[in-house]
C-alpha cells in the first residue's frame, strides 16, 4: 500500500494548503474543489511512493520547538507563546492614502508586496534584489465561490489581490510553477501556507533560493466555499449567478460585496455579515491549528483590534499589527518603511491584546477541540514546542464551540440546503 497524503485527508487533518500538489514530482497529486474547499486526490497509477507529499504536509504535525530548522532564522526577542518569535513590532498603515483606504486593514500587505516588486528585497549584504513575481491569492473571476493562487508581477496585479479572502485556497499549488520557473519570488499566505512552504524549502534547493520573502497574514479561521454561498443566498442572490465577490475593504473594516448579472449587487458591513451561521462553516482542520500570527513568515501582519484604533476617527482607514520575525524581514521593514509605511512601535502585550478573539480560538478552543477529538479516538495534530495541555476551561470552551458549530451547520442545511 502506497503512503501518500490520502492518509491525511482520510484522517480529517488536511489544511487545504496545496503543498503536496505543488511538490509532487509526477503531478500525481491534485487538489479537487467542492463546497467544502480543496482536498488532495492521488492518481495511484502516477504515484511513485516517493513520500514527498507527506514530507511537506503540515497537517499531521508541525514542529514549533526552538530546535526546529526554521527557528534559527526566526529566533528573536523572548515573547508570549501565542505571539511567537519576533525582531520588531509595530502598528502601521500604508503611507499612500489611496492604498490605505482601499486595503482591508490599512493597506500594509499591499504596500509591502508593492515595495518588494518596485524596490526589491534586501539581500543581507547591504544591497537589494528585485522580485520577479509575488505569489498571492484572489477570488477566481469566472467562479467567485472559489479562490486560487496567482503570480502578480506589477502594481495593478497586486491591487487585484488586495483585501482579505474568507475562503479556502490551495495557495501552495503555485510551488510547482516556482520550482520549474527560475526567478525571485515573494510569497503572501496564511500560517498553514507558510508552514507548508517552509517544509517544502527543506527538501528543495530551488525553493530555498527562489522564494526570498514570505509575508504571513494573521488568521483566526478561514471559511469553506459553502460560507460564501450562504452569504449570497441570505442576501437574496443565487450563488450560481455570482460574478464578483469581495470580503473586505475599501476603508476599514470594510464590507462584503456580492454582484450578479441579473439581480445586481448587495453589500453588508464587516464584521456584521460574518455571524455565527457563516463562522460555523470553517474547515475542520482550522479549529485544530495553533498558528494564528504566521510565526514562520519573514513579516506577518493583521488587523489591530484595539479600542483606541476602532474608536479613533483619525485612524478610520485601518491599522495593522506588523511583526518582523527574521533578519530579512527586519531589514525589509527598516529599509523600506520610510517610503511605503507609517509605523509606530508596539509592545508584545499590545499585539497580543489586539488579537484577543483570535487568542480565544487558537488557544482555549483549540486545546479543547484537540482533547475532544482524542477522546473520540480520532487523530489529532501534534505540535512539539507548544504547551498545549488542556485544562477544564479549555474542554468547556471546546464543547461550547463544537455545539455551536454543529447547531449552526444544521440550521444552514435546513434553511439553505
Burial class (CB in 10 A: 0-12, 13-18, 19+), 314: exposed
Mean pLDDT, range 100-121, rounded to an integer = 91
Percent of the chain with pLDDT over 90: 77
Task: Report helix angle 108-119 to 327-340, nearest 10.
Answer: 100
Residue 239 CA to its chain's centroid (Å): 24
- Cis peptide before 129, with omega less than 30 degrees from 0? no
Q: Do residues 117 and 110 lie in contact, with contact meaning Cβ atoms separated by under 8 Å?
A: no
How far apart CA 349 and CA 393 sit, in angstroms, is 22
CA angle 129, 134, 140 (to 5 degrees): 170
The closest alpha carbon to 319, from 251, 381, 258, belongs to 251
**Mean pLDDT (whole number) for 147-156:** 94
Each residue's pLDDT tens digit, 376-399: 999 999 999 888 888 899 999 999
Cβ atoms of residues 169 and 147 within 8 Å: yes
Q: Is the pLDDT reported for residue 1 higher than 70?
A: no
User: Using an 8 Å Cβ cutoff, are 236 and 212 in contact?
Assistant: no
Spans of all domains in the chain: 63-223+281-358, 362-415
pLDDT at residue number 129: 83
Q: Which H or E run contains 4?
A: none
Q: Give SS3 for 362.
A: helix
pLDDT at 48 over 60: yes
**Cβ 299 vs Cβ 74: under 8 Å:** no
Looking at residue 79, what is its pLDDT?
47
Per the CB < 8 A criterion, the answer to whether 358 and 335 are in contact is no
Digit-coded pLDDT (tens) for 300-352? 999 999 988 887 776 778 999 999 999 889 999 998 877 899 999 999 999 99
Nearest to 100 by CA among 358, 366, 315: 315
Most confident of 95-109, 124-138, 395-409: 395-409
Q: What is the pLDDT of residues 62-99, one digit of tens each?
A: 998 877 777 655 544 444 578 988 999 999 999 999 99
Residue 128 contacts residue 120 (beta carbons within 8 Å): yes
331 touches 122 (CB < 8 A) = yes
Grid coordinates belonging to 213: 520573502
Query: In angstroms, rounded to a whole number, what is the distance separating the alpha carbons of residues 358 and 303?
Result: 11
What is the tens place of the pLDDT at every residue in 195-254?
999 999 999 999 999 999 999 999 999 999 999 999 999 999 999 999 999 999 888 888
* In contact, 282 and 369? CB cutoff 8 Å: no
pLDDT of 261 above 90? no
| Grid cell locating 392 | 477544564
CA atoms within a 13 Å half-sphere pointing along the CA-CB vector of 94: 25
pLDDT at 50: 94
Instruction: Please give the Cα distance from 12 to 268 (Å, whole number).
Output: 33
Query: In the prediction, which pLDDT does 134 show?
Result: 96
Least confident span in 18-32, 79-93, 269-283, 287-301:
79-93
Alpha carbon distance 269, 211 (integer Å): 36
Question: Are the C-beta atoms of residues 276 and 221 closer than 8 Å to each other?
Answer: no
382: DSSP letter: B
pLDDT at 78: 43
Bridge-based pairing state of the strands 264-269 and 299-303: unpaired
Q: Are 295 and 84 in contact (CB under 8 A)?
A: yes
The average pLDDT across 17-39 equals 97
Q: Is 90 exceeded by the pLDDT of residue 44?
A: yes
Which letter does DSSP use for residue 291 in this model? -
Give the DSSP H or E segment for 355.
none
Displacement of CA 95 from its chain's centroid (Å): 24
Radius of gyration of the CA atoms of the chain, in A: 20
How far does the chain reach from its first CA to its final CA, in angstroms?
38
The rounded distance, in Å, linking the Cα atoms of 171 and 346 is 30
Tell me the torsion sign for CA atoms 53, 55, 61, 65.
negative
Residues 130/122, Cβ–Cβ less than 8 Å: no
Alpha carbon distance 45, 27 (integer Å) = 11
Amino acid at each position: 500500500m502506497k503512503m501518500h497524503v490520502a492518509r491525511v485527508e482520510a484522517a480529517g487533518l488536511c489544511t487545504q494548503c496545496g503543498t503536496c500538489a505543488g511538490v509532487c514530482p509526477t503531478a500525481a497529486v491534485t487538489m479537487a474543489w467542492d463546497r467544502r474547499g480543496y482536498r488532495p486526490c492521488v492518481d495511484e497509477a502516477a504515484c511513485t511512493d516517493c513520500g514527498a507529499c507527506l514530507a511537506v504536509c503540515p497537517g499531521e504535525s508541525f514542529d514549533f520547538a526552538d530546535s526546529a530548522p526554521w527557528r534559527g532564522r526566526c529566533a528573536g526577542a523572548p515573547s508570549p507563546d501565542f505571539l511567537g518569535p519576533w525582531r520588531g513590532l509595530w502598528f502601521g498603515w500604508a503611507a499612500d492614502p489611496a492604498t490605505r483606504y482601499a486595503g482591508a486593514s490599512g493597506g500594509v500587505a499591499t504596500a509591502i508586496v508593492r515595495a518588494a516588486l518596485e524596490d526589491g528585497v534586501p539581500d543581507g549584504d547591504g544591497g537589494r534584489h528585485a522580485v520577479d513575481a509575488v505569489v498571492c491569492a484572489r477570488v477566481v473571476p469566472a467562479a467567485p465561490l472559489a479562490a486560487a493562487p496567482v503570480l502578480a508581477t506589477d502594481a495593478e496585479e497586486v491591487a487585484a489581490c488586495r483585501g482579505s479572502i474568507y475562503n479556502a485556497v490551495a495557495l501552495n499549488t503555485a510551488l510547482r510553477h516556482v520550482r520549474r520557473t527560475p526567478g525571485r519570488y515573494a510569497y503572501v499566505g496564511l500560517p498553514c501556507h507558510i508552514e507548508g512552504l517552509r517544509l517544502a524549502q527543506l527538501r528543495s534547493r530551488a525553493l530555498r533560493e527562489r522564494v526570498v520573502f514570505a509575508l504571513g497574514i494573521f488568521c483566526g479561521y478561514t471559511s469553506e466555499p459553502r460560507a460564501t454561498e450562504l452569504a449570497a443566498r441570505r442576501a437574496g442572490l443565487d450563488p450560481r449567478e455570482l460574478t464578483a465577490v469581495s470580503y473586505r475593504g475599501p476603508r476599514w473594516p470594510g464590507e462584503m460585496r456580492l454582484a450578479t448579472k441579473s439581480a445586481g449587487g448587495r453589500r453588508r458591513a464587516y464584521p456584521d455579515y460574518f455571524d455565527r451561521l457563516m463562522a460555523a462553516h470553517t474547515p475542520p482542520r482550522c479549529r485544530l491549528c495553533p498558528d494564528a500570527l504566521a510565526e514562520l513568515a519573514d513579516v506577518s501582519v493583521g488587523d489591530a483590534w484595539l479600542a483606541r484604533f476602532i474608536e479613533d476617527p483619525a485612524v478610520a482607514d485601518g491599522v495593522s499589527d506588523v511583526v518582523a520575525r527574521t533578519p530579512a524581514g527586519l531589514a525589509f521593514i527598516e529599509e523600506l518603511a520610510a517610503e511605503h509605511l507609517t509605523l509606530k512601535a508596539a509592545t508584545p502585550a499590545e499585539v497580543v491584546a489586539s488579537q484577543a478573539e483570535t487568542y480565544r480560538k487558537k488557544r482555549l478552543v483549540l486545546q479543547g477541540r484537540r482533547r475532544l477529538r482524542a477522546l473520540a479516538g480520532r487523530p489529532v495534530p501534534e505540535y512539539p514546542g507548544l504547551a498545549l495541555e488542556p485544562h477544564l476551561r479549555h474542554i468547556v470552551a471546546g464543547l461550547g464551540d463544537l455545539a455551536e458549530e454543529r447547531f449552526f451547520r444544521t440550521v444552514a442545511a435546513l434553511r439553505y440546503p
